[in-house]
Amino acid sequence: MKPHNFYAGPAILPKPVFQEAADAVLNFNGTGLSILEISHRSKEFTAVMEESQQLVKDLLNIPDTHEVLFLTGGASSQFYMTCMNILGSDQKAAYVDTGTWSTKAIKEAKNFGQIEVIASSKDQNYNYIPEIHGDCAEYRFTHITTNNTIFGTQYQNIPSLACPLVADMSSDIFSRPLNIDKYDIIYAGAQKNLGPAGVTLVILRKDILGKVERNIPTMLNYQTHIDKGSSFNTPPVFPIYVSLLSLRWLKSIGGVAEIENINSAKAGKLYQTIDDSKLFFAPVRNEDRSKMNVVFKIRNEELQDDFLRFSTESDCIGIKGHRSVGGFRASIYNAMEMDGINKLCDVINDFDQKHG
Ligand SMILES: *Cc1c(COP(=O)(O)O)cnc(C)c1O
């Protein structure tokens, strides 16, 4: 039997997606050719691109004010591409510092405009979501990381500000509904909650472009990709196709409203098990706990390696915590089934009974 996969990223995909992707590697849509060798200008692949963009719009309720792009370079390239495209060098942008990924975003942004860190949870090793004071009207945008993959915090309520948001949603996009009106740009590396590594989803408001003075290299200009339907150069065809399969799966089970319920049930059960145990605890403030990445620790640190070994032997793979936090992290993205949660809870309970 396949082990339960709790890796943070690249991460689990829905079960049926693996078989469908494997089929398409051998014979894509009855063409007799592999998805890996088909032209990105073929009508078969053009259909994949169009359906993918449409499904993103349908699932997240994106109106025509916004465009959907599938780019390369990872979420890390969006740290600078966002600012390069929409932040004038004399303009101010606000950033909320909620950990490693926002810190990296802040560093890149500083190359393009005046960056102010308006809130931070660094004082407590990022175990909470800091409050934003004021309405941020003076900023071109405010940047947030909606889910902090490493520290296990997540905005349960997205702030309502007087300026637009730019959001890194790499690890919780499609985990719940969103209100697109609040955002100028949303970006997400696919490999957490959407598809395989190699493609980055960008959703952006169209009328924000063309307003900065600087020269933007063609490939880094969002307008280039909008004009060419996200196929200016060769797009990452296979990651896009597999992402499409996962979007179809999400639609088939009821979309983001339904998956939000499922995700809440999964996370609720896992946190409850941790809270009820004697040995384990979750360091993140209750109301900011991530439903995607559940960070937990063990009171008796000498038992840490034992628990890792025990969980691996019990078919729960990938729960070693990030080095900057220590302890454990169970990533329980959309594709993680309740079965996997139940198994991990059993493992926690068994270990707790033996050693707690
Ligand atoms: C993984 C991750 C990134 C980095 O993504 P890459 O695609 O590897 O560049 C950025 N932000 C968040 C929140 C992440 O989880």
The structure tokens 């014979």 sit at 27
221 part of a folded domain: yes
pLDDT in tens, 261-306: 999 999 999 999 999 999 999 999 999 999 999 999 999 999 999 9
Asked if residues 352 and 30 have their Cβ atoms less than 8 Å apart, the reply is no
- Say which amino acid occupies 52: S
Q: Which residue's CA lies nearest to atom 13 of ligand 1?
A: 170
Residues 31 and 165 in one domain: yes
Q: How far is Cα 6 from Cα 192, in angstroms, rounded to an integer?
A: 11
pLDDT at 356 (0 to 100):
83
Asked if residue 160 and residue 66 are part of one domain, the reply reads yes
* Residue that is last in its domain, among 252, 268, 292: 252
Is residue 1's pLDDT more than 90?
no
> If you average pLDDT over every residue of the chain, what do you get?
98
Q: How far apart are the C-alpha atoms of 172 and 152, rounded to whole Å? A: 11
Identify whether 192 is a catalytic site residue: yes
Listed residues 229, 252, 275: the one ending a domain: 252
The CATH number of residue 259's host domain is 3.90.1150.10
Whether 277 lines ligand 1, by a CB cut-off of 6 Å, is no
CATH number at residue 82: 3.40.640.10
Looking at the fold, whether 240 and 344 belong to one and the same domain comes out as no
What domain count does the chain have? Answer: 2
189 lines ligand 1 (CB under 6 A): yes
Q: Which of 225, 252, 279 is the last residue of a domain?
A: 252
Whether residues 44 and 69 fall in one domain:
yes
Tell me, yes or no, whether 84 and 233 share the same domain: yes
Q: Tens digit of pLDDT for each residue in 145-183?
A: 999 999 999 999 999 999 999 999 999 999 999 999 999
Residue 63, phi then psi, degrees to nearest 5: -80, 180
Do residue 229 and residue 310 come from a single domain?
Answer: no
271 in a structural domain: yes
Is the CB of 170 inside a 6 Å radius of any atom of ligand 1? yes
Ligand 1, closest atom to CA 150?
A: 15
Q: pTM of the entire structure?
A: 0.98
Do 248 and 260 fall within a single domain?
no
214 phi, psi to nearest 5 deg: -65, 160
**Shared domain check, 107 and 47:** yes
Q: How does pLDDT run across 213-263, given as a tens digit for each residue?
A: 999 999 999 999 999 999 999 999 999 999 999 999 999 999 999 999 999
- Is 168 part of the annotated catalytic residue set? yes
What is the total residue count of the chain?
356
Give a yes or no: residue 50 inside a domain.
yes
Contacts of 171 (CB under 8 A, 6+ apart): 8, 9, 147, 148, 149, 188, 192, 193, 292, 293, 331, 333
**How far is it, in rounded angstroms, from Cα 11 to Cα 318?**
10
Please tell me whether residues 266 and 349 are part of one structural domain.
Answer: yes
Quote the domain boundaries for residue 289.
255-355
